[in-house]
Amino acid sequence: MTKTYHIVHLEADLDVTERMAILFENENNISYEHASTEQEALDILNQNIPELLIVELRLSDYDYRQGVSFIKHAYKKYPGIRMMVLTNRGDNTLREELKPYIIDYELKIFKPSIIKKKIIQLLIQKDAHNKKSSSATNRNEKLLGDELFETKEIIQEKRYEKTQNKNEMIFICYSRKDEEFVLKMASILKNRGVPIWLDQFNIPVGADWDMCIDEALYECTKFMIVLSTSAFKSQEVRAEFRTALDVNKQIIPILIEECKIPRRLRLLQHVNLLDKSMKLDQVSDIIIKSLGL
C-alpha cells in the first residue's frame, strides 16, 4: 500500500493556498490541507501531526513576528514536528533565529513547480531517514512525480539554489509607462528561477504600498533599474534609486531606450537592450548573465 504524505499549510492568503492545492491535486499520495489562522492549524495538529507543516510568517496584520511565535510554540508543543517557512520575507536575521526550529526557509517568488519539488524532497528525506533500503527511497521519489526532473527544471533549481545560498533578492525599479515590457520580462525571469521582487507581483492586496517598497529596498541584494525617458522623469523611480544608493545596494542599470541617464549611473556598466529585434528569451538571457546567475 502506497504511503500518503500529509501536508498542512498555515497561510492567510487564500490565493496562495488555492495555487498550492492545485499543485498537489494530482498527487494521489500527498494530502494537502490549509489553515488560515494559528488556531485552525493547532486544531489540525491536535488531531494529527503531518509529515510537513508549512508556515507563512506574515499572518494577520502583516506582522512577521506572529508567524515566528507560532513556529516556536508548535516546536515546543509538538516535539519532532517538521516545519518549513514559505514567505515573501527574505531576511537573514529571521532565518538564523528560526534555524533551530525549521528544516527549510523558502521564498514565494520562485516558480511553483520549484517550490513543489523542494517540498517533495523534504518528504523524501524524512522517508529516507526512516528506511534502511535506498531502493525504497527511490520508489518513493518516483511515485512523487518524475515530471519535475526534466532538464529545464534542473537548470532552474540550480539557479534557485545558488541564489538561496546567497539570500539573493533583486528589486526591479521601473516607470509605470514601461510596465508592459517590465511585466513580460519579470515573468520570464521569475519562471527561470531568478529571485526578483516586483511591486505588482509581491505586494499583497490591502498592504501599505510604500511600506512594502521601503522594506523590499532595504532587504534586496541587487537593485535593477529599467532606464527610459519616462523613468528619467519619474519621481518615484528617482526616490527608489536614491534609497538604493543610500543603503549601498548593487545597482544594475537596464537600458531599454535612448534617454538621459542620471549622473550617478553614467559610470556604471549598463545592460544594453536597445536592439528591439531581440526576443524576450534573449533579453532574459542577457539579464541573467549580467546578474551572474
Same domain membership, residue 174 and residue 144: no
DSSP secondary structure string for all residues of 75-91 = HHHSTT--EEEEES---
| DSSP state letter for 270 | P
172 and 144 assigned to the same domain: no
16 contacts 56 by C-beta, under 8 angstroms: yes
Last residue of a domain, one of 150, 183, 200: 150
Q: Among 86, 118, 150, identify where a domain stops.
A: 150
Sorting pLDDT into bands at 50, 70 and 90, what band is 102? very high
Q: State which amino acid sits at residue 49.
A: I
Q: Which residue has the cell 531581440?
A: 278
| Residue whose C-alpha is closest to residue 222's, from 252, 242, 202, 247 | 252
142 and 172 co-located in one domain = no
- Residue 280 within any structural domain of the chain: yes
Whether 108 and 190 map to the same domain: the answer is no
Same domain membership, residue 122 and residue 203: no
Does residue 137 sit within a domain?
yes
Residues 210 and 96 in one domain: no
The answer to whether residues 10 and 134 belong to one domain is yes
122 and 256 inside one domain: no
Condensed to tens digits (0 to 9), the pLDDT of residues 230-254 reads 999 999 999 999 999 988 999 999 9
Q: How far apart are CA 23 and CA 188, in angstroms?
A: 20
- Give 14-57 pLDDT, tens digit per residue: 878 888 888 888 888 899 999 999 999 999 999 999 999 999 98
* Domain extent at residue 236: 168-291
CATH classification of the domain holding 221: 3.40.50.10140
Amino acid at 132: K
pLDDT bucket at 143, cuts 50 / 70 / 90: very low
Residue 140 lies in a domain: yes
Distance CA 225, CA 58 (A): 28
Check whether residue 191 and residue 127 sit in a common domain: no
Beta strands in the chain (DSSP E): 5-10, 30-35, 52-55, 83-87, 104-107, 170-173, 196-197, 222-227, 250-255, 271-272
Domains contained in the chain, number: 2
